[in-house]
């Protein structure tokens, strides 16, 4: 380091914790080009990104040798439209080091996922230690001060744990392909009877990425919910079965074959009031559609970031006209404020509209809109609320 750089660092001081990003940026822009590298390294020393100023100001920062840096993630229409970061050169070289930045105002409780696109390559944020698995890949995570993750997803050695069993389901309908279904059995299952059950679409992904076994272990141990059986049904032909040409056949096989199979094999309650079905995205759509179509099987359903299609409104209208939904239903919806927005397909707007339709028909439901995106880490945050909403009982036998 040159003597001039050392003198500059002495003038700047050593404590950068109270320096807002806007103040640092003004210093950087006003500095001669040869001094900028020193100023950036002074500001970034020991700092984690993205930079949070106050409760709502969030700045994404990339520093290094690059021609262009874009960001893609929850804030970009649910990973649909990458945005360019402003480049401030910090060396004489045309392709040398530079500071890239972009600032947003977000809710104080926001939790957001993102990646940088550096000269065309997707990369994690090297200054951010928060990394969350999302499906088969990982993203950098930004959490604002008012976001507090649920502790119920963590494995707890001090509580009793359920077990995972496996069932091979082969439908009599040869167009529905066989699959291996995983089943969570609560502690004490073999001595129990009449256990509630919940069927989870995209089951293997949900089991791996939403930590449902940990959630159930902790909630059962804390007596937040009764012991229950969770059935993780993997998707095979996901789009066709959940929302395409095979939806009706899949629903029939699921309700008339898989559910009775589970009831024969495990100590589950046989009544629809004690059965739930849930899913995310297209899996949320099929969960809601199954509830509307088959109240003889399910009285509880949850859809998270569901693909709200016109067919749901049509099914709802037909049910209420010819076979009104029973008042005992428990229907849960949630969606992120930064969920998928592409063209005319706006997940938050569609969820608000569908919730209003449910209200107009007097259908009891709970709708949550959260400061998050279309991500497993978002969905798992609300799974404890879903299980409690479906199955918890207050003193006197009344459901909340």
In this predicted structure, the answer to whether residue 394 has a pLDDT above a threshold of 60 is: no
Say how far apart CA 400 and CA 398 lie, in whole Å.
6
Q: pLDDT digits over 136-147, tens only?
A: 689 999 999 999
Q: What is the pLDDT of residue 17?
A: 64
Q: What is the pLDDT of residue 136?
A: 67
Percentage of the chain surpassing pLDDT 90?
85
C-beta of residue 336 within 8 angstroms of C-beta of residue 74 = yes
Buried b (16+ CB within 10 A) or exposed e, 178-193: ebebbbbbbbebeebe
C-beta of residue 361 within 8 angstroms of C-beta of residue 354 = no
Q: pLDDT digits over 58-107, tens only?
A: 999 999 999 999 999 999 999 999 999 999 999 888 788 999 999 999 99
In this predicted structure, the answer to whether residue 14 has a pLDDT above a threshold of 60 is: no
When the pLDDT of each residue in the chain is averaged and rounded to a whole number, the result is 92
Q: What is the pLDDT of residue 393?
A: 63
Three-state DSSP at 94 gives coil
Q: What is the pLDDT of residue 372?
A: 97
Q: pLDDT digits over 106-132, tens only?
A: 999 999 999 999 999 999 999 999 998
Q: How confident is the model at residue 271 (pLDDT cuts 50, 70, 90)?
A: very high
Q: pLDDT digits over 308-346, tens only?
A: 999 999 999 999 999 999 998 999 999 999 999 987 789
Distances in Å between the Cα of 224 and the Cα atoms of 155, 264, 271, 273, 393 are: 17, 27, 21, 18, 8
In this predicted structure, the answer to whether residue 53 has a pLDDT above a threshold of 70 is: yes
Q: Is residue 208 reached through a cis peptide bond, with omega within 30 degrees of 0 on the bond before it? A: no
In this predicted structure, the answer to whether residue 363 has a pLDDT above a threshold of 90 is: yes
In this predicted structure, the answer to whether residue 399 has a pLDDT above a threshold of 50 is: no
φ, ψ for residue 270, nearest 5 deg: -95, 10
In this predicted structure, the answer to whether residue 42 has a pLDDT above a threshold of 90 is: no
Q: How confident is the model at residue 6 (pLDDT cuts 50, 70, 90)?
A: very low
Q: Return the bridge partners of 59, or none.
A: 51, 103
Q: How confident is the model at residue 265 (pLDDT cuts 50, 70, 90)?
A: very high
Exposure of 282 by Cβ count < 10 A (0-12 exposed, 13-18 middle, 19+ buried)?
buried
In this predicted structure, the answer to whether residue 398 has a pLDDT above a threshold of 50 is: no
Q: What is the pLDDT of residue 326?
A: 92
- Average pLDDT of 349-361? 97
Q: What is the pLDDT of residue 10?
A: 38
Domains of the chain: 3-143 (2.60.40.10), 151-391 (3.40.50.1820)
Q: Which residues contact 103 (CB under 8 A, 6 or more apart)?
A: 21, 57, 58, 59, 60
Say how far apart CA 354 and CA 335 lie, in whole Å.
12
Q: How confident is the model at residue 400 (pLDDT cuts 50, 70, 90)?
A: very low
Q: How confident is the model at residue 395 (pLDDT cuts 50, 70, 90)?
A: very low
Say how far apart CA 358 and CA 330 lie, in whole Å.
12
**Helix axes 212-221 and 376-391, enclosed angle (nearest 10):** 40
Q: What is the pLDDT of residue 289?
A: 98
- Average pLDDT of 166-180? 98
Q: What is the distance between the terminal CA atoms of the chain, rounded to a whole angstrom? A: 65
- Average pLDDT of 279-292? 98
Distances in Å between the Cα of 190 and the Cα atoms of 51, 185, 266, 334 are: 52, 9, 8, 34
Using alpha carbons only, give the angle 347, 352, 357 rounded to the nearest 5 degrees: 125
φ, ψ for residue 3, nearest 5 deg: -60, -40
Three-state DSSP at 373 gives coil
Q: What is the pLDDT of residue 380?
A: 95
């Amino acid at each position: 380091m040159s003597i001039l750089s050392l003198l500059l660092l002495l003038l700047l001081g050593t404590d950068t914790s109270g320096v807002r990003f806007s103040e640092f940026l003004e210093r950087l822009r006003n500095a001669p080009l040869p001094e900028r590298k020193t100023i950036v390294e002074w500001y970034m020393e020991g700092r984690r990104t993205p930079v949070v100023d106050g409760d709502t100001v969030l700045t994404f920062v990339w520093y290094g040798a690059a021609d262009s840096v874009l960001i893609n993630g929850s804030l970009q229409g649910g990973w649909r439209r990458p945005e360019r970061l402003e480049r401030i050169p910090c060396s004489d070289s045309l392709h040398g080091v530079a500071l890239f930045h972009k600032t947003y105002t977000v809710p104080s409780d926001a939790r957001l996922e993102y990646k940088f696109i550096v000269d065309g390559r997707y990369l994690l944020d090297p200054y951010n230690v928060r990394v969350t698995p999302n499906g088969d890949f990982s993203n950098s995570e930004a959490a604002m001060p008012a976001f507090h993750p649920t502790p119920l997803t963590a494995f707890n050695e001090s509580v009793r744990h359920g077990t995972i069993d496996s069932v091979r389901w082969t439908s009599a309908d040869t167009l529905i392909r066989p699959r291996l279904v995983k089943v969570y059995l609560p502690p004490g299952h073999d001595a129990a009877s009449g256990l509630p059950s919940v069927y989870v679409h995209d089951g293997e992904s949900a089991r791996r990425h939403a930590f449902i076994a940990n959630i159930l272990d902790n909630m059962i141990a804390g007596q937040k919910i009764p012991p229950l059986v969770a059935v993780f049904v993997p998707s095979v032909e996901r789009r066709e079965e959940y929302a395409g040409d095979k939806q009706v056949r899949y629903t029939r096989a699921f309700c008339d074959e898989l559910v009775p199979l589970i009831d024969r094999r495990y100590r589950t309650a046989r009544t629809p009031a004690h059965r739930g079905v849930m899913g995310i995205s297209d899996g949320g759509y099929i969960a809601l559609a199954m509830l509307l179509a088959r109240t003889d099987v399910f009285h509880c359903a949850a859809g998270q970031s569901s693909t709200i299609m016109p067919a749901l409104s049509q099914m709802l209208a037909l049910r209420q006209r010819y076979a009104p939904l029973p008042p005992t239903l428990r229907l849960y919806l949630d969606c992120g404020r930064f969920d998928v927005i592409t063209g005319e397909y706006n997940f938050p707007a569609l969820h608000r509209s569908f919730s209003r339709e449910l209200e107009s028909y007097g259908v009891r439901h709970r709708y949550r809109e959260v400061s998050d995106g279309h991500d497993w880490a978002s969905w798992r945050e609300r799974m404890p609320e879903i299980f409690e909403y479906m199955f918890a009982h207050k003193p006197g036998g009344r459901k909340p």
